[in-house]
Amino acid sequence: MLKNVVCMLLALVAGSSAAQDPAAGYPMRPLRFIVPYPPGALTDVLARVIGDRLATALKQPVVVENRAGAGTLIGADLVAKAPPDGYTLLMATSTTLGISPAIYSKPQVDAVKDFAAVSLVGSVNFFLVTSPSLAVKSVTELIDVVRRNPGKFNYASSGSGSPHHLFMEVFKKETGLDVQHVPYKGSALAVLDIIAGKPEMMFLDFSVAVPNIQVGKITALGTSAAVQSVLMPNVQPVARTVPGFDWQAWQGVVVTAGTPRPIVAKLNAEMQRFQAAPEFREQLIKFGMEPWAPNTPDQFADIIRKDVGRWATVVKAANLKVD
């Protein structure tokens, strides 16, 4: 009889502890990892690498689901409306939580209110590149040439509302340049015309920029981030010439708002472990990404909040809206 009472008391204590700690026993079933991009995109590849590592650490499968569309907001909306239990993750980007909510008149999601930050993983540094036919070797020279020839030059982007587009809009505003926008369906198509000499310039993502820079088909003048690039340390930040210019396209993991803090903390702890591993950092560099040091949910949430305001200002200045 005494033995049965003791067992009952132990069970009650265990149940009480589990109730007090939502992370106790988490996860008890597979996790969904929503990628708001099509299969094969950088974000998709990165999510699968992270998913495999989380699956090993958490001892549960992590199933990657591609839900592209509406400027990545279809996938984001799915996660925003999921139960706040830590079983639905989003591979979030600065486009998903910064640019698209500012561009769409009815964005469906609120980057700050609808998600809980887990960890920022890495970022893509963009390169300000020009056609060799323009014959400039620095950001200063580019600014000088364009100022002396207002309205004569054009810049390319991978599409209206893309980071390529908005980074240049910021650059134009900060330097007072008069160059016209020519949108393309992807940066791979845009760079072909840059090589040919028309348009003459653009902010280009690493994976497309570097192979062409290395063989001299285009000229790299500077990087979009204010910090020195891990990937191409010989190219100076644009901020050396245009103080305060600091833009990157980041990637990180978020969950549904309201997810218990202990669960968020558990996910963050596991991510911090593999983010600190040299082999993970090397993998990101091979993808053309700048690895971020392990960070806390609060640090990532602060970056999201600041970016929401920054992108809203840029989008408004560029007069971009999608109904």
Predicted confidence at residue 19, as pLDDT, reads 53
Q: Bigger pLDDT: 128 or 15?
A: 128
How far, in Å, CA of 165 to CA of 158, rounded? 7
Q: Residue 320 pLDDT more than 90?
A: no
* pLDDT exceeds 50 at position 13: no
Q: What CATH class does 126-240 carry?
A: alpha beta
Q: φ, ψ for residue 253 (rounded to 5)?
A: -115, 135
Structure confidence at residue 321 (pLDDT): 79
pLDDT above 70 for 297? yes
Handedness of CA 250, 191, 128, 321 (dihedral sign): negative
**Contacts with 73 (C-beta within 8 Å, 6 or more apart), sequence order:** 36, 96, 100, 101, 104, 107, 108, 109
Where does the chain hold its CATH 3.40.190.10 domain(s)? Answer: 126-240
Q: Has residue 322 got a pLDDT over 80?
A: no
* Pairwise pLDDT comparison (160 vs 277), residue with the higher score: 277
- The C-alpha angle with vertex 119 and arms to 113 and 123, in degrees rounded to 5, equals 105
Q: What percent of the chain has pLDDT over 90?
A: 73
Mean pLDDT (the chain) is 90
CA angle 79, 83, 85 (to 5 degrees): 105
> What is the residue whose two structure tokens read 């040919």?
196
Where does the chain hold its CATH 3.40.190.150 domain(s)? 30-123+248-317
Can you give the pLDDT at residue 74? 94
Query: Which residue would you say has higher pLDDT here, 3 or 216?
Result: 216
Average pLDDT for residues 57-79, to the nearest whole number? 95
Residue 223's DSSP bridge partners are 127, 237
CA torsion sign for 19, 268, 60, 249 is positive
Which of 2-16, 234-248, 262-276 is least confident?
2-16
Local confidence band at 6 (pLDDT 50, 70, 90 cut-offs):
very low
Of 110, 162, 72, 117, residue with least CA distance to 267: 117
Measured distance CA(295)–CA(195) in Å, rounded: 39
| pLDDT score of 1 more than 90 | no
The predicted model gives 181-186 an average pLDDT of: 92
Fold category of 30-123+248-317 in CATH:
D-Maltodextrin-Binding Protein; domain 2 (3.40.190)
Name which of 205, 213, 221, 111 is nearest 159 in CA terms. Answer: 205
Contact present, 247 and 168 (Cβ < 8 Å): no
Q: Looking at residues 181-202, what average pLDDT do you find?
A: 92
The Cα-based distances of 199 to 184, 190, 193, 242 in angstroms read: 11, 8, 6, 22
Residues found in the chain: 323
As a whole number, mean pLDDT of residues 238-244 equals: 96
Q: How confident is the model at residue 231 (pLDDT cuts 50, 70, 90)?
A: confident
| pLDDT band at residue 4 under the 50/70/90 scheme | low
**Band (20; pLDDT cuts 50, 70, 90):** low
- Using CA atoms, how far residue 315 sits from 150, 155, 253, 284, 319, in Å, is 23, 17, 24, 29, 6
* Per-residue pLDDT tens over the stretch 131-170: 999 999 999 999 999 999 999 999 999 988 889 999 999 9
User: In the chain, what is the greatest distance between 2 CA atoms, to the nearest angstrom?
Assistant: 95
DSSP class per residue in 64-101: EEE---GGGHHHHHHHHTS-SSS-EEEEEEHIIIIIHH
Q: Which of 63-72, 225-234, 243-252 has the lowest mean pLDDT?
A: 225-234
DSSP state, 134?
A: G
Confidence of residue 18 (pLDDT cuts 50, 70, 90): very low
Q: Which of 4, 68, 74, 75 is nearest to 41 (CA)?
A: 68
Please report, for residues 65, 112, 153, 309, the alpha-carbon distance to residue 227 in angstroms, rounded to integers and kept in the order given: 33, 26, 28, 21
Residue 318 has pLDDT above 60, yes or no: yes
The yes-or-no verdict on residue 171 having pLDDT over 60 is: yes
For residue 117, what pLDDT is reported?
98
Strands 154-157 and 180-183, sheet pairing: parallel
Q: Residue 66: pLDDT band by 50, 70, 90 thresholds? A: very high
82: how many CB neighbours lie within 10 A of its CB? 18
Asked if residue 60 lies in contact with residue 27, where contact means CB atoms within 8 angstroms, the answer is yes
pTM: 0.86
Q: What are the tens digits of pLDDT across the range 195-211?
A: 999 999 999 988 888 88
| List of residues 6+ apart from 226 with CB closer than 8 A | 237, 239, 244, 245, 246
